[in-house]
Structure 1
Amino acid sequence: MSASTDLTRRAFTGGAMALALGGKSFAQGFAGLGESAEGFAAVTPGKPFTFPADHGPHPEFRIEWWYVTANLSDAGGAAYGAQWTLFRQAMKPGGPSEGWTNQQLWMGHAAVTSAGTHRFSETFARGGLGEAGVEAAPFRAWIDAWELRGLDAFDPQRIAPLELKASAADFSTTLRLDAERALVLQGDHGYSRKSDRGQASYYYSQPFYKASGRIVIDDKPVDVTGAAWMDREWSSQPLAADQTGWDWFSLHLPSDEKLMLYRLRQKDGRENLFGNWITPDGRSAEIAANGNSITPTATTEIDGRKLPTSWRVALPARGLAVETAPLNPKAWMGTSFPYWEGPIRFSGSHAGIGYLEMTGY
């Protein structure tokens, strides 16, 4: 296929996605996260998760993603971050059809971040054409040449080992992800509430990856190692109509404990807090909303927006009180549905590294 044909096809696919999703912010615009889910499958408590089947797509639900973030460093201790995400969105309910009548749209985001540089890229594809998709066994998620695939001795209970690849004009990432512990179910045994009105998702993670490989920024290769985290989530209506966005943290604590914590913001100024505390052996306990807090402490102006890029996180019952700071406060994903995503460090009662995602600003 010629380059001009490919560009025209991509422009059509991207335009179709933008038309389907509307011109709102990422949080409510992408896949109509807060719109009625009539005709799509519902998220209900008590789902039995099955692997490798649940590593694959769930086309009866409107939206899902395969989301990897990595906190990395080079031999000299310089810090970097990497992101690789594949999103699937169904434009309408019903089983997927073939070719251009397929209603599944795919969107890929990738980024690398250093203290002074943030590079990102975005790509779209239509389902039914073989240009993007996910296969549960053997595991493979891809969009064009970007790929996340299982390697020899792949264990579906750990979703490891994996190879991650992404490239754009000014950066590339190649990582191997290994994990010795099993996947972790978030929320209440994988049922993740988003409001007190029934919005929810199915959500599990692999927060124990050890990463190694190479990133290239502006033709300069760097060998890196570090910690990585994968989130798998799917739903048909994960937000309520009056929720405007979220602030999501994944923290690697020095004891090898992990914390996933986020707040969902509402138009009236109220917020809902959710999260899970994960022990080194992989046991996961929900975080209570009462008595815990995520509070912004400093902002950064990007593209006319003021974004809270430094935070205070307090979980008194866990003895945690930390201040977070971004590796690069300008880690803005200026994609079709823009958001902030980048590596952070934290100090206080605990010290460590993590990732922060903020949508709807």
Structure 2
Amino acid sequence: MNVRAWLCALILLLPSALYGQGYAGLGGSAEGFDVPQPIYQFEFPRDHGPHPTFRIEWWYLTANLTGEDGRDYGIQWTLFRSALKPTEAEGWQSPQLWLGHAAVTTPKTHYFAERLSRGGIGQAGVTAEPFEAWIDEWHMRGLDLNSLSLSASGAEFSYDLSLTAQGPLVFHGEDGYSVKSADGQASYYYSQPFYDVEGALRLPDGDVAVTGQGWLDREWSSQPLAADQSGWDWFSLSFDDGNKLMAFRLRGGRGDFTAATWIDPDGTAKPLPDGSVSFAPLDTAPVAGRDVPVQWRVTLPERDIEVEVSAITPNAWMATRFEYWEGPVSVSGSHSGRGYLEMTGY
């Protein structure tokens, strides 16, 4: 099969691989693939790398940045791996599909780009030691996750950033086993939410030097959603007092399922079970032909948290092969800060 024919085949394969039951097919059958188990011994650097016997995996970095011009910016860099079969092979026989998303959000505009690749041919992949994740010329690399360089580009933007971790890895759920539904669907999930970031954005109106904070999520599973779960609302919030909150709501036909992690400034993490955090949309905006919540009230009574989370730029829509909203947010109310919001299934 020549390259052009293979690319056409990939375009046809991706919907069947990524769509189906649940949002983006993530509630589809895991038959033949490994599934997360409640007791798992993480091993690093091994687990920074890929897990090809699981169906879906991602390396997902977002950052809240401030420019030398005083304005707020956000960036996203994501590499997704989706497997057609729970094996690996060399060359064009590889069943691993790779998808890259990158974005820059300014106070007025949202720029994004997307890349597609097949595994096994060197165009995309991840190595654990030294760490490198790449698709085409986009890369996230370093000796390990403590110090990384990050780059990506699209038709109207590019960025080159340096990231330095100032705290430990954080494990979500029960020691990294993150339950996603009442039926017990789950993923392995950990984060590095303590990056200091510096570098430059290149935008149509000029280059901007930026500094800020970054948050990397690592997650893999084979069926992370129940079949009736149509999407999620995911928040990563960094408060000005040094505490952090990761929280999500999965929307399903049988009701919502929620989970969260409270993170102390020293990285001590406490998992919060279903029902601990409540989410209430306060305002919507017309985005890509639909009404999308762009302001929320997030409440965590256990920590006296009642905050309003507001999109910096309401039109931060990722019009990619599976569409979603992703952008930086401001936090006000009982606590102030900033963070990132991802919403799917709208």
TM-score strictly above 0.5: yes
Q: 1:6 to 1:328 in 2, by over 3 A?
A: farther
Displacement of 1:121: 0.4
Q: How does 1:32-181 map to 2 (within 5 A)?
A: 32-93=25-86, 95-150=87-142, 154=143, 156=144, 159-181=145-167
State the identity as a percent: 53
- Superimposed CA distance per residue, residues 88-136 of structure 1 (whole angstroms, 9 cap, x where no aligned partner): 000123x211222211000000000011110000010001111000000
SS in 2 for 1:54: helix
Q: How does 1:298-337 map to 2 (within 5 A)?
A: 298-337=283-322
Displacement of 1:291: 4.9
Displacement of 1:267: 2.1
- Superimposed CA distance per residue, residues 65-87 of structure 1 (whole angstroms, 9 cap, x where no aligned partner): 00000000112320000000000
Residue in 1 aligned with 2:17?
Answer: 20
- Superimposed CA distance per residue, residues 123-150 of structure 1 (whole angstroms, 9 cap, x where no aligned partner): 1000111100000000000000000000
Residue in 2 aligned with 1:197?
Answer: 183
Q: What is the alpha-carbon distance in structure 1 between the residues aligned to residue 76 and residue 3 of structure 2?
A: 25
TM-score by length of 1: 0.92
Q: How does 1:183-194 map to 2 (within 5 A)?
A: 183-194=169-180
SS in 2 for 1:128: coil
Any unmatched runs of 5+ in structure 1? none
When the two structures are aligned, how many residues end up with a matched partner? 345
Q: 1:173 to 1:265 in 2, by over 3 A?
A: same
Whether the 8 Å contact between 2:259 and 2:275 is mirrored in structure 1 is no
Letter in 2 for 1:287: L
Whether the 8 Å contact between 2:149 and 2:161 is mirrored in structure 1 is yes
Letter in 2 for 1:163: S
- Superimposed CA distance per residue, residues 178-210 of structure 1 (whole angstroms, 9 cap, x where no aligned partner): 012221111111000001212000000000000
- Superimposed CA distance per residue, residues 38-72 of structure 1 (whole angstroms, 9 cap, x where no aligned partner): 11001011211111000000000000000000000
Displacement of 1:20: 3.0
Q: What is the alpha-carbon distance in structure 2 between the residues aligned to residue 33 and residue 51 of structure 1?
A: 26
State which of 242, 265, 276 in structure 1 corresponds to 2:251: 265
Q: What is the alpha-carbon distance in structure 2 between the residues aligned to residue 50 and residue 246 of structure 1?
A: 29
Q: What is the alpha-carbon distance in structure 1 between the residues aligned to residue 276 and residue 263 of structure 2?
A: 19
> Larger deviation: 43-52 or 290-299?
290-299
Residue in 1 aligned with 2:326?
Answer: 341
Q: How does 1:283-294 map to 2 (within 5 A)?
A: 283-294=268-279
Q: What is the alpha-carbon distance in structure 2 between the residues aligned to residue 229 and residue 292 of structure 1?
A: 21
- Superimposed CA distance per residue, residues 205-241 of structure 1 (whole angstroms, 9 cap, x where no aligned partner): 0000000001112262100000100000000000000
Q: What is the alpha-carbon distance in structure 1 between the residues aligned to residue 283 and residue 250 of structure 2?
A: 19
Letter in 2 for 1:295: A
Whether the 8 Å contact between 2:102 and 2:152 is mirrored in structure 1 is yes
Residue in 2 aligned with 1:221?
Answer: 207
Letter in 2 for 1:299: T
Q: What is the alpha-carbon distance in structure 1 between the residues aligned to residue 291 and residue 17 of structure 2?
A: 28
Q: 1:8 to 1:226 in 2, by over 3 A?
A: farther
Whether the 8 Å contact between 1:170 and 1:219 is mirrored in structure 2 is no
Letter in 1 for 2:115: T
Residue in 1 aligned with 2:238?
Answer: 252
Letter in 2 for 1:255: D
TM-score by length of 2: 0.96
Cα root mean square deviation, aligned? 1.5
